[in-house]
Structure 1
Amino acid sequence: MEHLVIVFLAGLLAGGINAAAGGGSFVSIPALVFAGLPSVAANASSTVALLPGTIASAWAWRRDFQAFPGMPMRWLVAISLGGGLAGAVLLLVTPQHAFDVLLPWLLLTGTLAFAFGRQLGAALRRRVRIGPGAVLWAQIPLAVYAGYFGGGVGIMMMAVWSLLGETDIRSMSAARTILVSAANAVAVVCFGLAGPVRWPETLTMLVAAVIGGYAGASLARRLPQPWLRGFVIAFSAAMTVVFFRRAYGS
């Protein structure tokens, strides 16, 4: 019962973070691992638990969505669905010990993307321009990553789109939530059918994340975004260090 309390509290925090700044999986996955779930099951369970909040965010952004020139949204959604499925299958066939070693690197990748993705996109935009075709190709590995792990993937997508010359943050945020929801939704179906999800912990976190998401949306209106992003970056960096020590320490 004690571990379910931990999971519930982590779900509240993860849902709030996702609603306010993004990056809730940096909380949910470590919490589930510390609650006793194997890392593969923790990753799958986290994806399931946070999906309703992701879909709710996509619905909230629906009025701000605008299609990018030369990139039909149906193509991007189709790529995201296929890539999400591929990433989910790849996670399911990854041996547990291999994922234990890989998890800290995934956390590091997601943390760096969350911390520096926007700045990198802006810096590259001053030097590089790419066409819609390149963006569609880039969406393939991003969608696979979203289905496999997903930390920081929304920031990665927006950084790539900025190379197209897109600078409307609202329209990019709307597109990001739609595509991340698509990749996560097909991954959830795959995880649910394949059976790595630990349902007591998942349902506990799901309910908490919905509550936290509602509260987080209210909090986001009151606190400066740099504070919220700073907290997520500091927390995810700390978890990255913990999991590196867990995987590689003596």
Structure 2
Amino acid sequence: MSIFDVLLLFFAGFLSSVVNAIAGGGTFLTFGAMTLTGVPPIMANATSSVTQLPGYITSALAYRTEIREAGREVWLLAGLSLVGSLLGALILVSLSNPSFRSLVPWLLLAATLIFAAGPYLRPKTLHPEKPVSRLGLVFQFITSIYGGFFGAGMGIMMLAVLGLTKGGDYHKLNALKNVIAVVIAFVAIVVFSSGGVVAWLPAVIMIPAGALGGYAGVWAARRVPQSVIRAAVVAVGLGLTWYYFAT
């Protein structure tokens, strides 16, 4: 691995956490950087899950009061998501790199469109809080399968599902989303590690960079408009989509 590759991975890890703190979408940066340094698509996807986990954990800890208030429902959603993410991760490791490679541009395109539509997917006025509906549980299960399989845009999908089928305070919904994201990422990491599809050297470079980016993201979130960061992430997503369709 060249010095350029190390620097690229470090800055991708750093910027992914900054972006996640402001608008989300950091997976596009870590996945893209790893593929540019020659990491096979499946390993790049799996390793992105490893690098995102610390940020999910710290976000969940910051919402510990809201999580306690959620009561048993958080365990229901977490358990359902555990099964779904396990299924998604197992599907991924069963594929060959060429098979997954053929899906990557379509997955990136879908994730980019979901990310771009995020502000429109989120209800403008949240309904009064209620237990998540059966339809919400079904959609959350589907989202967790996607999260275990690929993951980009997963957070926006979960907030949309919870907002439309449960309602209530945004921060409570975000707290649930963060807990579920921890579960999905942890299950995916266990499966991917067991399957030998994690590129540990890039992960070791990006994890501390992501920790630094998390602190910087708090500073940037107060100064950089979300619309600017969202536009930059969409541009990266479209660029990666074009790259994978063209090569």
Q: Taking structure 2 as the reference length, what is the TM-score of the superposition?
A: 0.90
Instruction: Give how far 1:197 is off.
Output: 0.9
- Quote the Cα distance in structure 2 between the aligned partners of 1:88 and 1:50: 15
Please name the residue that 1:150 is paired with.
Answer: 151
Instruction: Give how far 1:131 is off.
Output: 6.3
Give the letter for the 2:107 counterpart: L
Instruction: Tell me which of 67, 72, 79 is aligned to 2:70.
Output: 67
State whether residues 118 and 158 of structure 1, in contact with CA within 8 Å, keep that contact through their aligned partners in structure 2: no
Unaligned runs of 5+ in 2: none
Instruction: Give how far 1:54 is off.
Output: 1.4
- Quote the Cα distance in structure 1 between the aligned partners of 2:166 and 2:12: 37
Give the letter for the 1:57 counterpart: S
Give the letter for the 2:18 counterpart: G
Please name the residue that 1:102 is paired with.
Answer: 103
2:64 pairs with 1:50? no
Instruction: Give how far 1:62 is off.
Output: 2.3
Unaligned runs of 5+ in 1: none
- Quote the Cα distance in structure 1 between the aligned partners of 2:175 and 2:122: 18
- Quote the Cα distance in structure 2 between the aligned partners of 1:214 and 1:45: 22
1:14-53 aligned within 5 A: 14-53=16-55
Please name the residue that 1:235 is paired with.
Answer: 236
Partner of 2:198: helix, strand, or coil? coil
Alignment length (residue pairs): 242
Offset from partner CA, 1:114-162 (integer Å, 9 cap, x none):
1113413538x99xxx961111111111111111111111111111222
Please name the residue that 1:190 is paired with.
Answer: 191
Question: Alpha carbon RMSD of aligned pairs, Å?
Answer: 2.3
State whether residues 132 and 162 of structure 2, in contact with CA within 8 Å, keep that contact through their aligned partners in structure 1: no
Give the letter for the 2:70 counterpart: A
2:181 pairs with 1:180? yes
Give the percent of matched residue pairs that are identical in Structure 1 and Structure 2.
37
- Quote the Cα distance in structure 1 between the aligned partners of 2:35 and 2:15: 16
2:219 pairs with 1:218? yes
Instruction: Give how far 1:87 is off.
Output: 1.1
Partner of 1:197: helix, strand, or coil? coil
Please name the residue that 1:141 is paired with.
Answer: 142
Instruction: Give how far 1:167 is off.
Output: 4.8
Offset from partner CA, 1:188-230 (integer Å, 9 cap, x none):
1111122111111111111111111111122112222222222
Question: CA 1:120/1:18 → structure 2, altered by over 3 Å: closer, same or farther?
Answer: closer
Instruction: Give how far 1:165 is off.
Output: 5.4
State whether residues 83 and 147 of structure 1, in contact with CA within 8 Å, keep that contact through their aligned partners in structure 2: yes
